[in-house]
Amino acid sequence: MKQHILIKLPVIFDSGGDLSKNWFIEFYARNPRTGKMERQRFYKEINKYHTLKERRAAAEKMRQYWTDKLKAGWSPFIDDTVIYDDNLEYQTYIKNYRKIKSTNGTLRFYASKYLDSIKNEVEGTTISTYRSKLRLFDAWLEGERINQVDISAINQAVLSKFMDFIINKRKLSKVSVDNYRILIRSLFEYIRKDKARKHLINPCFDLPGTKRVNDSAAYPIYEDDITTFKDYIFKKDPQLWLVISFEYYCFLRPRKEIRFLKLSDIDFGRGMIHVREEIAKTDKRWVTIPKTFMKLIRETYQLHIYPRNYYVIGKKGIPGPDHVSINNLSNRFVKYRKKLNMPEIYKLYSWKHTGNSRADKAGIPRQEIQVQNGHTTLATTEGYMRNIGVIQSTNILDKFPEL
């Protein structure tokens, strides 16, 4: 993981030994308000000496003075004449830092080991999510100037302050906040398995919470908007419309199942797609390609003429040896959604919901929809249908008495 330099230690600038010019001490420190390294210069107690020997001795003395101050935790960005509660708290952290500073016991050290320990147990996307969350935690610790302390210094009070940050500053939802709590708790339980850390107290208790709901779920595309999207995207970005069609007709998920799909996974003769285990969300499966979509695949996109080892969604807008990046497809869809002034409830994933919704209304049996989705049980499919607003009472729709 990328490390951020907090200070560059002082050096002497002696003007080439010229006593007629001012000598000074220079160092750099990271300003916590801007996140940038800022230069600091000090001339005091150096230039009053008029022999090389005396001035060099004075310069070295001042260089050592500022070096010691910086290593002790002093910052040029704290006003020594005004002490706030946060600064008092910061001074407490600095005292702890002197006592328990560690090169191999920091949050970053243990977070890396923890992620390595679970990489064979969870999906790569889950690891990426965990890594992003732990990076945010580490960045917050750096902002508090305690990212280099030993893990034992991260107590319940520190963690409560971080939770308050993600709730009130980052405005995260209850689900996201709970996920942070679960992840950090799991991390500390992993650390406690180390014999040298078995007495470490897990700080994940009595932490702030929130009931905030940030509605970011994808909704099916409304019927009146489907044609508008199709006419525009098919013309402007045919490859993206192919992605949408894989979602809509075959219920494939864009992040992995479509992005990593290869032409060798498509049985053009039988009209089937093999969703390999390494790209499937749940388990490997075969899905059926509706005839109307197969016609589009063969006649419009002519996927069958490309080398079988190519990715279907290549980097140059056609099948190729390299797949697109993880956010490429969703970013393209958002761009067109904005140009069409469509609501934000529409995500790229909405097209999978749209296909499910229309398949159900067309009378396709739920068991077949279950297989196409790769759901392990019919109950999962039923729950999915309820969540996307598919299940509708035909009796209420058709027979409800008029007022």
pLDDT digits (tens, 9 = 90+) for 193-208: 988 888 888 999 999 9
Q: Is 59 exposed, middle or buried (0-12, 13-18, 19+ CB in 10 A)?
A: buried
Instruction: Determine the pLDDT at residue 216.
Output: 64
**pLDDT value, residue 78:** 54
Measured CA to CA in angstroms, residue 67 lies from 9, 25, 63, 75, 219 at distances of 6, 10, 6, 11, 58
Whether residue 161 is predicted with pLDDT greater than 80 in this model: the reply is: yes
Least confident of 75-89, 257-271, 285-299, 303-317: 75-89
What are the beta bridge partners of residue 314?
323
**Distance separating alpha carbons of residues 66 and 45, to the nearest angstrom:** 12
Tell me, what's the pLDDT at 86? 39
Question: How far is it, in rounded angstroms, from Cα 321 to Cα 307?
Answer: 9
What is the CB neighbour count within 10 angstroms for residue 357?
21
Residue 184 has phi, psi (to 5 degrees) of -65, -35
Distance, in Å, from the CA atom of 201 to the CA atom of 198, rounded to the nearest integer, reads 8
pLDDT of 218 above 90: no
* Length of the chain measured in residues: 403
Dig out the tokens for 159 from the structure. 């963690």
